[in-house]
Amino acid sequence: MSKEMRTYDLVVIGGGPAGIVGASVATDSHKSVALVDDHHELGGAGVNTGTVPSKTLRETALALSGLKTRDLCGVDLSLRREATVADFLGHEQHVRAGFNAMIASRLQYHKTDIYCGVASFVDPHTVRLCDAKSRIAGEMQPVHEGETLVYGKSILIATGSSPARPTTFPFGSAEIYDSDTILELDRLPKTLAVVGAGVVGSEYGCTFAALGTQVHIVDGRDSLLPFLDGEVSRALVTGMERHGIIFHWKEEVLACNAAPAGVTLKLSSGPLLTVDAVLVAAGRKSNTDTLSLAVAGVQTGERGLIPVDEYLRTNVPHIYAAGDVIGFPALASTSMEQARRAVRYALGLKVPEFSHLLPNGIYTIPEVSMVGETEESLQKHGVEYIVGRAR
């Protein structure tokens, strides 16, 4: 391609749930839209590395754990050989491929121009696409022949997030995984250490325990999922311990040594923990490293998070952001709603009058339920809440 620039009403960077919904809102309003993603398979982490694969493995694990509880006389339900994770994910590939095809078809039907490449800002309105191999994170390079430039009157950043990788752990070594790579395990480990007792760590810990793995969960706090009601959290711990999961509370991993005989973790209280594999679930960081946001004048915060106002607008008036890239609550459902509202604001469309789904916005909470968020958690994240039913 030449360096000829194409102009759009909206350029969306990121092909996950937020980006797809944002693009659809704009095309439904007869606006020209370009969607940019660095993968040919659209759907983001939810479809390709996170929700769909992990839930497939979880449902398989639940089925297997259910079989183990059946006392059928004379029937052997045990696995005949050492199983791989791939054995449990055969169906997942078909499900994921179906999602990818459906998303691409939907965007094409709405006449969205789809570009595959690594996006970076050339100026506040212009985005450059280049091959992932030729892009160096954080460095601005001249525009070369063969690279594509797109100009957006408005821009939506919806690049999502990736697992954080603390330097304590030698990622790239055998048997050290994060939530994006854990499903690449060659064999189901007999023992697994999960570093981090958050949502991801708890889910994978329970999944592998159901598959027969001895699971150790290491966390620097003294409670599981502290944003939950305390009684619920304690009940979960009791249930997980009943299924053989061992918790190491108030422990930090000071060192990690990967060797052919196993992975050894040195814990802050002194003991060594040796396991077959380690899953590091130490939170996530926004995917903003390659965007050259400074060139566009967009400010970022801790772990690459992009601050936005109540209109999902960054400090640059025509650049908006939605989804995991802006932080809490970082759920697919809220990400899609954020993108829907951001695009409506950006294009001057009517916005429904109900509460904002933002860290610094307002939640309207039904009288009968806190919708999974405790008062303490909402206050911690600076969210104002109103008990009552929205009209």
Q: What pLDDT, on the 0 to 100 scale, is given for residue 180?
A: 86
| 228 has pLDDT over 80 | yes
Q: What pLDDT, on the 0 to 100 scale, is given for residue 117?
A: 87
Among 79-83, 101-105, 109-113, 236-240, where is mean pLDDT lowest? Answer: 79-83
| Percentage of residues in the chain having pLDDT higher than 90 | 46
Edge-to-edge order in the sheet of strand 272-275? 253-259, 262-267, 272-275
Determine phi and psi for 112, rounding to 5 degrees.
-85, 130
| 206 has pLDDT over 70 | yes
Q: What is the DSSP string of 27-78?
A: HHTT--EEEEESSSS-SHHHHHTSHHHHHHHHHHHHHHHHHHT---TT---S
Task: Give residue 385's identity as a one-letter amino acid code.
Answer: Y
* Tokens, residue 19: 């980006």
**Separation of alpha carbons 214 and 250, rounded Å:** 20
Q: What pLDDT, on the 0 to 100 scale, is given for residue 132?
A: 53
Q: What length is written for the chain?
A: 391
Tell me if 338 sits within 8 A of 169, measured CB to CB: no
State how far the alpha carbon of 377 is from the alpha carbons of 161, 185, 286, 328, in Å.
Answer: 21, 34, 21, 11
Q: Mean pLDDT across the stretch 346-371?
A: 53
pLDDT bin (cut points 50, 70, 90) of residue 101 is confident
Mean pLDDT of all residues belonging to the chain: 80
Residue of 376 and 289 predicted with greater confidence: 289
| 243 has pLDDT over 70 | yes
**Separation of alpha carbons 302 and 240, rounded Å:** 33
DSSP helix/strand/coil, 357: coil
Q: List pLDDT tens digits, range 151-193.
A: 999 999 999 998 999 999 999 888 999 988 888 888 889 999 9
* CA 387 to centroid of chain Cα atoms: 29
Model pTM greater than 0.85?
Answer: no
**Separation of alpha carbons 180 and 6, rounded Å:** 34
Q: What pLDDT, on the 0 to 100 scale, is given for residue 128?
A: 93
Long-range contacts of 379-382 (CB under 8 A, 24+ apart): 380/227, 381/328
Q: List pLDDT tens digits, range 4-41.
A: 688 999 999 998 889 999 999 999 899 999 999 887 77
Tell me if 14 sits within 8 A of 48, measured CB to CB: no
Q: What is the DSSP string of 74-92?
A: T---S-SS---HHHH-HHH
Residue of 147 and 390 predicted with greater confidence: 147
